[in-house]
Structure 1
Amino acid sequence: MALKSTPYKFRLNLTDIDRAIYENLNLTVARHPSETEQRLTTRVLAHALWYHEQLTFGRGLSDVDEPALWQKSLDGRIEHWIDVGQPDAERLIAASRRSERCSLLVYDQNRVWAGKTLPAVAQQKNLHVAALPQEPLDALASDLPRSVDWGVMISDGVLYVSDENTQHEFVLEWLQGER
Structure 2
Amino acid sequence: MALQATPYKVSLDISDVDRGVYESVKVTVARHPSETELRLTSRIIALGLFYHEHLAFGRGLSEVNEAALWQLSLDGQIEHWVDVGQPDAERIIKSSRKAPLVSVLAYGNVRIWKEKVASKVTHLSNLTILALPEEAHAQLASMLSRNLHWGLMLTDGVLYVSDADEQIELPLEVILQP
Counterpart residue identity of residue 121, structure 2: V
Identical amino acids, percent of aligned pairs? 55
Alignment-derived partner of residue 172 in structure 2: 172
SS in 2 for 1:96: helix
Deviations along 1:17-64, one digit per CA (max 9) or x if unpaired, are 122221111010000011000100000100000100000000121101
Q: Do the aligned partners of 2:89 and 2:121 also contact (CA within 8 Å) in 1? A: yes
1:154: which partner in 2? 154
Q: Which amino acid aligns with 1:38?
A: L
Shift of 1:109: 2.8
Q: Which aligned pairs between 1:11-160 and structure 2 lie closer than 5 A?
A: 11-142=11-142, 144-160=144-160
In structure 2, the gaps of 5 or more residues are none
Structure 2 CA distance for aligned equivalents of residues 75 and 143 of structure 1: 37
Residues 1:52 and 1:143: Cα distance change in structure 2 (over 3 Å)? closer
Structure 1 residue runs without a partner (length 5+): none
Whether contact under 8 Å (1:109, 1:131) holds in the other structure is no
Q: How far apart in 1 are the matches of 2:137 and 2:163? A: 12
How far the C-alpha of 1:164 sits from its partner, in A, is 2.1
Contact 1:86 1:109 in 2 (8 A): no
Asked if structure 1 preserves the Cα contact closer than 8 Å seen for 2:150 and 2:163, the reply is: yes
Q: Which moved more, 1:79-88 or 1:109-118?
A: 109-118
How many angstroms apart in 1 are the aligned matches of 2:62 and 2:81? 16
Equivalent position of 2:5 in the other structure:
5
TM-score between the two structures when normalised by the length of structure 1: 0.96
Q: CA deviation at 1:143?
A: 5.2
Encode CA deviations 1:148-169: one digit per residue, 9 max, x unaligned.
1111111112111001221011
Q: Any idea what SS the aligned residue of 2:34 has?
A: coil
Deviation at 1:103, TM superposition (A): 0.2
Work out the CA distance in 2 between the residues paired with 1:9 and 1:102: 26
- CA RMSD in angstroms comes to 1.1
Distance in 1 separating the partners of 2:83 and 2:129 = 10
CA contact (8 A) 1:5 1:33 kept: yes
